[in-house]
Amino acid sequence: MPSLSFVTVDVFTTTRYAGNPLAIINVPKGHDISDDQMQQIAREFNLSESVFLHESIASDNGVPEWRIRIFMTTAELPFAGHPTIGTACYALGSIAHNAPKGRLIANAGPIDVDFASDVARAAIPHNVHVHTENPFTIHDVYKLQPALVGVSSRAIDIVSPVKGMNFVCVELPDLATLAKIDNTGVKPQPRLDEAWNVGFAGSLFYVLTDGPVTDDKVVKVRTRMMEGNFEDPATGSAACALGAHLALKARSKSVHFDVTQGVEIGRKSDIGVSVVLKEGLDEVESIELSGSAVKIMEGVIEY
């Protein structure tokens, strides 16, 4: 029976049993594993995402490269934040013996990663899109979260950091309101723009805890990401989507966001997002996602 080694790590934290758990399955060169088998293994781990890390390949510039495949329990994703950071920490820190630079080749494109002082930084592939054809209304929010009925929102936007990843971003007035969010079992059904009507959709509720976005400011944000009955402890892709959208909305050339997620479910996660806009301030030049990870377990899975 074929088998593969694996590790699990908690991502966006330096504390074990906090952050967001991630399974990383090592796939040696020449190993034959099908998409269906990878999906089955991801379903067995039953985490928000699992990564299949293919053995490093030689690159022209000597920087190690790894092909990665990211799976939820039900489908493959082109990109996701906490798998990127968790895999970067493991690949550069453990496999490559604290190599300072590397590259992850995801379905969404190549991701250049740096690693220093136990923190990974990833240059995130992006094609930021704000959906405008069919706006999400406050009454749609109430259907998702009945506990919010009567609460006003300062902003409701549907944002995609890349095609196939979609988030309904709802700004709430304070942390007390954020605490009302519950696992209602209702999945968001955003009416996506026609050319972007594909992929995952989640609900991101957020509070700007120290005021509005301005240039060169560290903006502190508290978030919760819901998808039906599931609350994600840390969602790097949603943090990237939100950071890019807020920077564009404020027309701020360069902004860093300190995003804290997972507090309400006992898995505090610390997510860093840095956004730089192009000179016209209407397009994203770069998005950098940063965070740490700590190893929890290792073993072998047979399939």
Condensed to tens digits (0 to 9), the pLDDT of residues 125-171 reads 999 999 999 999 999 999 999 999 999 998 999 999 999 999 999 99
User: In the prediction, which pLDDT does 38 show?
Assistant: 99
User: In the prediction, which pLDDT does 197 show?
Assistant: 95
User: Which sequence spans correspond to the domains of the chain?
Assistant: 3-121+292-302, 129-291
Identical fold for domains 3-121+292-302 and 129-291, yes or no, is yes
User: In the prediction, which pLDDT does 1 show?
Assistant: 87
Amino acid occupying residue 114: D
Instruction: Please pick, among 49, 65, 171, 227, the residue that the annotation labels catalytic.
Output: 49
Mean pLDDT for 77-88 is 95
CATH architecture label of 3-121+292-302: Roll (3.10)
Annotated catalytic residue 49: yes
Mean pLDDT for 6-10 is 99
The band of 215, judged by pLDDT with boundaries at 50, 70 and 90, is confident
The band of 111, judged by pLDDT with boundaries at 50, 70 and 90, is very high
Condensed to tens digits (0 to 9), the pLDDT of residues 25-76 reads 999 999 999 999 999 999 999 999 999 999 998 777 889 999 999 999 999 9
Cα separation, 93 vs 218, whole angstroms:
27
Mean pLDDT for 168-176 is 98
User: In the prediction, which pLDDT does 13 show?
Assistant: 99
Q: In DSSP terms, which residues pair with 205 in a beta bridge?
A: 170, 224
User: In the prediction, which pLDDT does 57 show?
Assistant: 80
In this predicted structure, the answer to whether residue 222 has a pLDDT above a threshold of 80 is: yes
| C-alpha torsion sign, points 280, 282, 288, 291 | positive
Condensed to tens digits (0 to 9), the pLDDT of residues 223-275 reads 999 998 899 999 999 999 999 999 999 999 999 999 999 999 999 999 999 99
Look up the CATH number of domain 129-291.
3.10.310.10
More confident residue, 78 or 234: 234
In this predicted structure, the answer to whether residue 214 has a pLDDT above a threshold of 90 is: no
DSSP the chain: --EEEEEEEEES-SSTT-SEEEEEEEE-TT----HHHHHHHHHHHTSS-EEEEEPPB--TTS--EEEEEEE-SS-EES--HHHHHHHHHHIIIIISSS-SEEEEEETTEEEEEEEETTEEEEE-----EEE-SSPPPHHHHHHH-GGGTT---S-EEEEESSTTEEEEEEE-S-HHHHTT-----PPP-----GGG--SEEEEEEEEETT----TT-EEEEEEEEEETTEEES--HHHHHHHHHHHHHHHT-SEEEEEEEE-GGGT--EEEEEEEEE-TTSSSEEEEEEEE-EEEEEEEEEE-
Question: What is the maximum span of the chain, computed from C-alpha positions, in angstroms?
Answer: 58
User: In the prediction, which pLDDT does 81 show?
Assistant: 94
